[in-house]
Every structure is written in C-alpha cells, then in structure tokens.
C-alpha cells in the first residue's frame, strides 16, 4: 500500500499549528511564569515553520519524485530523481486536489505526472493525445489525427536483450528519444492495434517512451484532467540504491 505523504504532511502541520494556537490562547495563560513549556508545545513550535514551508513548496511549487520503472527509458531511467512543477497546469489544493487557479493546459510532448484512471498511484508518461485527437498505434507506429509521427533512427542494438533501437521522435514542437523493440511482439501491456481512438473532452492520452514496455493509455485509457499532478521538468540526481553512490551525471532538463 502506497503511503499518502501529502495527507500525512497536512495532518502534522495542522496538529502542530493547533497545539501552538491552543498554547497561545489557553495553556500559556494557565502556566506560571517560571514553568517550562510542555514538550509537545516546544516540539510544535520548532517543527511547524519547517513543515509548513515544505508543505507549501511540495503543494504549489515543485515536488520531488523517484522513477521506479523503465517505462520512460531512454528519457528517464530507473533511479532518476526528478522535479515536478506543481503550478504549470494550475494551482490545486493539497490532498483534495481541487483546482483553485486555472493556468496552462498540457501540451503534446509534455512529460507529465498523474494518477491513472484505474489506481491511486503516481505514474509518469508523455502526453501524446489532447482532447479531441484521434490516436492510432498500428504495427508499432504512432499516428495522431491521421498523420504518422516522424521518427529518425539513432542507434540499433540487435545484441541487447530484448533487441531494441533508439529513435528521435518529433511530437509537435518536442523532439525526444524513444525506445522500440526491434522484433515486435504482442507485449502483454500494449495491444498491437489501436484504431480510431478519439480522446474525450477533458482527457489526455499518455504513452511511455519505452513503447513496448509501458502500461499506459493503450491499456487503461485516457487520463482525466482532474488526475493531473504536474509537469516533470528536470532530473536532479540518479541513485540506483543503497549499494551504489548517488550520481549527478544525468542532471538536467527533461525533453
């Protein structure tokens, strides 16, 4: 079960603030001048400002995430630590995620963090289809509104397992790299054919850059606008685990 860290943070900030307020209005007046503050009041006064700042930064400015799977290879690798802009697509309240300020809409090619329609877990994929777009994925090739998305071969690795190739994909104004299996087979995540799929209003069609190794909108459908978390914009560290050292060699913006 995933830990709901935003909810825990909101609760801790609320409780520590409540303790400080209660002490100021009631408890401090009952204490003698020489009496020391109770430990819970002292800790609340120490932690509340720090936790409040963390809450504001995570909820409205930027939030860190770690990449747990290879579905976005080669753009993002397992162990990448990324930053997600929380206000690009509008300002939302923490936990309940109600949008209170309208700003920009997602663009084709954006790398976006969201909740998929079938589970309460953070996913990260690339925006492929906008509301009203017709998406086709036929024989391992992507078509948007009847036009094949241009690809340019960059590298071919027939000796790798699985055999794959790296291509540059021009998705609207965004040029980025994708990975495809050389010998395409029916992968259990992704159906081989998707024909005439029209993205509903208020929804976005998402796909991983590792096209044959990604569970995405080809499997569980488009993402509703209310499930958007934010736009991934930078890698700040790479750390595979406790047996390795953190590295900053991959630090930079996300294309």
- Any idea which residues carry the catalytic annotation? 71, 125
Distances from the Cα of 174 to the Cα of 110, 169, 171, angstroms: 8, 8, 5
Strands (E) located in the chain:
62-66, 80-85, 91-92, 99-101, 111-114, 123-129, 134-138, 141-144, 147-148, 151-157, 164-171, 174-181, 193-198, 203-207, 223-224, 228-238, 252-253
Q: CA angle, corner 20, sides to 15 and 21, nearest 5?
A: 95
Rounded-to-integer distance, Cα 231 and Cα 82, Å: 10
């Amino acid at each position: 079960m995933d830990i709901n860290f935003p909810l825990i943070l909101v609760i801790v900030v609320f409780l520590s603030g409540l303790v400080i307020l209660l002490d100021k209005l009631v408890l401090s007046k009952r204490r003698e001048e020489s009496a020391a503050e109770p430990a819970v009041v002292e800790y609340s006064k120490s932690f509340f400002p720090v936790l409040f700042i963390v809450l504001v930064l995570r909820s409205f400015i930027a939030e860190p995430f770690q990449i747990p799977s290879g579905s976005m290879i080669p753009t993002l690798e397992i162990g990448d630590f990324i930053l997600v802009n929380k206000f690009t697509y509008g300002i939302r309240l923490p936990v309940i995620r109600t949008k209170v300020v309208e700003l920009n809409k997602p663009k084709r090619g954006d790398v976006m963090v969201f909740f998929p329609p079938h589970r309460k877990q953070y996913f990260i994929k690339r925006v492929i289809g906008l509301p009203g777009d017709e998406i086709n994925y036929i024989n391992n090739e992507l078509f948007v509104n009847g036009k094949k998305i241009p690809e340019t071969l960059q590298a071919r690795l027939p000796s790798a397992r699985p055999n794959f190739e790296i291509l540059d994909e021009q998705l609207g104004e965004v040029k980025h790299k994708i990975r495809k299996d050389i010998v395409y087979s029916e992968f259990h995540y992704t159906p081989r054919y998707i024909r005439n799929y029209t993205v509903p209003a208020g929804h976005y069609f998402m796909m991983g850059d590792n096209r044959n190794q990604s569970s995405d909108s080809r499997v569980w459908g488009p993402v509703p606008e209310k499930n958007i978390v934010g736009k991934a914009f930078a890698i700040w560290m790479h750390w595979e685990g406790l047996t390795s050292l953190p590295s900053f060699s991959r630090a930079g913006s996300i294309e």
